[in-house]
A and B are shown apart, each in its own frame.
Chain A
Amino acid sequence: MLISIASGKGGTGKTTLALLLAAAHSNITLIDCDVEEPNCHLFLQPEWHGPEQAVTIMVPRIDSDRCNGCGACSAICLFSAIAVSGKSALLFDELCHSCGGCLLACQQNAISEEQKVIGTLMTGTAASHPGIHLVNGTLKIGTPSAVPLIRRMKQESLQLTGDILVDCPPGTSCSMVNAVKGSDFCILVTEPTPFGKHDLELAMNITHLLQIPTGVVINKSDAAAGDENIEAFCASRQTPVLAKIPHSLSFARQYAAGCIPVEFQGIAVSIWQQLTSEGGARA
């Protein structure tokens, strides 16, 4: 089963929940798709299985000897990644989406493609948790789009068997969509504040659009604070609340120190039970 953990709002506890769930499983692959700010490895301190692999995208390469400055490439590029000045085309490769349109448009055969590194991929196993196999992606600083790297990581997961957890980036834009896409179940982590509820709704709109069965975990739960607002909202969307993780300063301190807190292990076990019965019912 491929389970994604997403949130809308940042800092609600996606990584915490991913680690809790992974630690409660005997043999699991954890894919950290928050490639802008990957954090799972900080807690697992894995032994890496090999050197980091570069992940690349294809970008055009313009042969200035052949280019006659006709502007056909620039005219068809809807991302404005190529401009023509004088007799040669100039590439702004950070805007390029690797569609290959310019290659097709160039009548002078002046455009070829070359690889551009956008990030790295590493896999490893945690000595403290030998059942957790970590796939870690890191976006290269200054690279605008994380999507190709996330897609590549998701591709790797297709070759794996057994249960897989995906720790997703925050937000609801293309990075989050690509991280969540294709999962059998999505857990949305929220907190009982108006911020949490607002962003939960946006995230739920995405999982609904993608037709992925969804459940909610309320982190930093506090009956006095606003749990019932979240619960009422989830009920109105026929989405189950899988668990509540109590608001706890000691838990936050353990997280800050880089430990996977054991105090809520029972909650993780209960979520797994619900997931396996839900997954079974849908399969």
Chain B
Amino acid sequence: MKELVIVSGKGGTGKTSISAALAYLAPQKVLVDCDVDAANFHLVSGATIKDSYAFTAGFQPHIDDETCTRCGKCTDLCRFGAITAGVITSPLNCEGCGVCAFNCPKHAIAMQEKQAGHWFVSDTRFGCLIHAELGLSVENSGKLVSKVRHEAKKIATTDHLPLIITDGPPGIGCPAIAALSGTSLALAVVEPSVSGMHDLARLADLVAHFQLPMAVCINKSTLHQENTEQMVIWCQNKDIPILGKIPYSDAFRSAVQSGKTVLEIPESNVTEELTELWQNIAGQLNIPKSASGLDLLWQKINIFR
């Protein structure tokens, strides 16, 4: 089983739109949305939630007011300024470390598991999607990312599916690290802007830091021809293959408006480039580019199921 993770460094370069197009083109796959704090993939794939699960991660202190003597030891020991003499005064500052609980002379504080969000298994036009919603202002986005990836792997294994397509988070911090670890291929969707180039360099450093295979897709390539050329040279120097160049197109926007992938709308003018991108990815991952006759038959049967 191969896992393709679509990342970008900079936000808004087109990760979800490109992931959705690849989901449309790839014959057999499980889909994952790892942008758990601003998930969007379900909006373009016609997702219907099949199963919903609560996600708990981390801890939060619970204070027994009757036992607490307001001695203030917790205030002295808390490094995050979250607690004042047995009262959680700044809950958003609390890291859930338990220092207050473990050192309370009256044992008045207990650490309880924290509700950190939900994750879902959904049916979409392109197959099964695992996605999530991080709780309001909680930590542990990295753990939720690992959770959805883990669940997707289980489904891919059970259903004998050769590919997982993962729509990743922006940035290079903990959610991006959690989405990338151990992936078969990190596909960076980048745009030819000075910001895009700068952010690609940092993303490439991160991917190299974890020694993962990486490839690039230049999106909006016609936005700035010179920058695109520079980016191509930069990638060549770094030995990073460029698997596709997608010209700037307002069709992406129209597609999102109608809740579809860019390949499903009549005015699409990037079909050829996206198909080429998919074929290059499939080649790189050594997986089938299109469905076999038997797969097509299964798909047909599934429509009526």
Contact = CB atoms under 8 A, between A and B. Distances in A.
Question: How extensive is the interface on chain B, given as a class?
Answer: 35 or more
Interface string B93-112: 00111110011000000010
B37 A194 contact: no
A36 B173 contact: yes
A181 B40 CA distance: 25
Query: A100, A173, A206 — which one has the most chain B CB atoms within 10 A of its CB?
Result: A173
A133 to B, nearest CB: 21
A225 B194 CA distance: 27
B102 A76 contact: yes
A123 interface: no
Nearest to B203: A37
Contacts of B257: 193-194, 225-226
Contacts, number: 182
A257 B77 contact: no
Nearest to B256: A193
Interface stretch (B132-140, B237-245, B278-286, B296-304): B132-140
B84 interface: no
Say whether chain B's binding surface is mostly helix, strand, loop, or mixed.
loop
B291 to A, nearest CB: 29
Interface residues of A, number: 58
Contact of B193 (A142, A143, A146, A256): A256
Contacts of A78: 58-59, 96-98, 111
B125 interface: no
Nearest to B170: A10
Contacts of A249: 223, 248
A145 B174 contact: yes
A101 B209 contact: no
Nearest to A76: B102
A11 B11 contact: yes
Given A139-B173, A141-B202, A225-B253, A104 B11 contact: no
Interface string B157-194: 00000000000011111111100000000000001111
Contacts of B206: 141-142
Nearest to A99: B97
Interface stretch (A48-56, A164-172, A237-245, A270-278): A164-172
A206 B137 CA distance: 7
Nearest to B205: A141
B202 A173 contact: no
A51 B138 CA distance: 35
A158 interface: no
Q: Which 6 A-B pairs have the closest CB atoms?
A: A11-B12, A10-B11, A99-B97, A258-B194, A256-B193, A144-B174
Interface of B: 8-13, 16, 35-38, 40, 43, 58-59, 77, 79-80, 92, 95-99, 102-103, 111, 134, 136-139, 141-142, 169-177, 191-196, 198-199, 202, 205-206, 209-210, 223-224, 227, 248, 253, 256-257, 259
Interface of A: 7-12, 15, 36-37, 39, 42-43, 76, 78-79, 97-101, 104-105, 139, 141-146, 169-177, 181, 193-195, 198-199, 202, 205-206, 209-210, 225-226, 249, 252-253, 255-258
